[in-house]
Amino acid sequence: MVMDIALVRVDNRLIHGQILEAWVPYVSASCIVVVDDEVRDDFFRETVIRMAVPREVEVIISGVEEFARNYPYSTGQGKIAIVLFSSIADAFKAFHLGFKFAKLNLGNVHHLHHEEDKVSCSSCVFLNDSDIQNIISLADSGDVHIEARRIPMEAPVDVRDIVKMPSRTT
């Protein structure tokens, strides 16, 4: 199955109300791809995710490497899809394994240990040094536009402007 990728998003919550109630209708998605090694290997989490999604929206759960190497996608062809990663590191890994995207949406990024967070891009996006390095690398190597935006009606924040600010803590 060829997918037309409408949204590539990092959200550590994966599928939740903002995805189902705002993004799916906004991009007219008929498919959601959860790209996460832990979910792929956790029958309970996979089952809960599948139960949360309306029947008319297909759910694909894949590991990062498997998705980047095996799922065909093309602009304007196939099912309209939302691709969800739980971390910037996973999106970065998929990009460098062959899943190329021009835009990355950061919806919700939090770390277990908040003391690792260095930069706040929005009320829901907090980046640590590793996230910042991955974002800079994506922006530089693939000319990827990276935005922080929870829902489609919000104004996007260009994350590259924030992470390259000289006043950020290191």
Rounded average pLDDT over 89-98: 94
Q: Is 3.40.35.10 the CATH classification of the domain at 3-163? A: yes
Residue closest to 16 by CA, chosen among 88, 108, 119: 108
Token pair in block for residue 67: 């998705």
Distance, in Å, from the CA atom of 119 to the CA atom of 161, rounded to the nearest integer, reads: 12
Domain ranges of the chain: 3-163
For residue 157, the model assigns a pLDDT of 84
Token pair in block for residue 141: 């190597």
143 and 102 Cβ atoms separated by less than 8 Å = yes
Q: What angle do CA 52, 9, 51 make, to 5 degrees?
A: 10
**Residue 166's pLDDT band (cuts 50, 70, 90):** very low
The amino acid at residue 18 is: Q
Rounded average pLDDT over 155-170: 65
pTM: 0.89
Token pair in block for residue 70: 């095996």
- pLDDT tens for 15-50 read 988 899 999 999 999 999 999 999 999 999 999 999
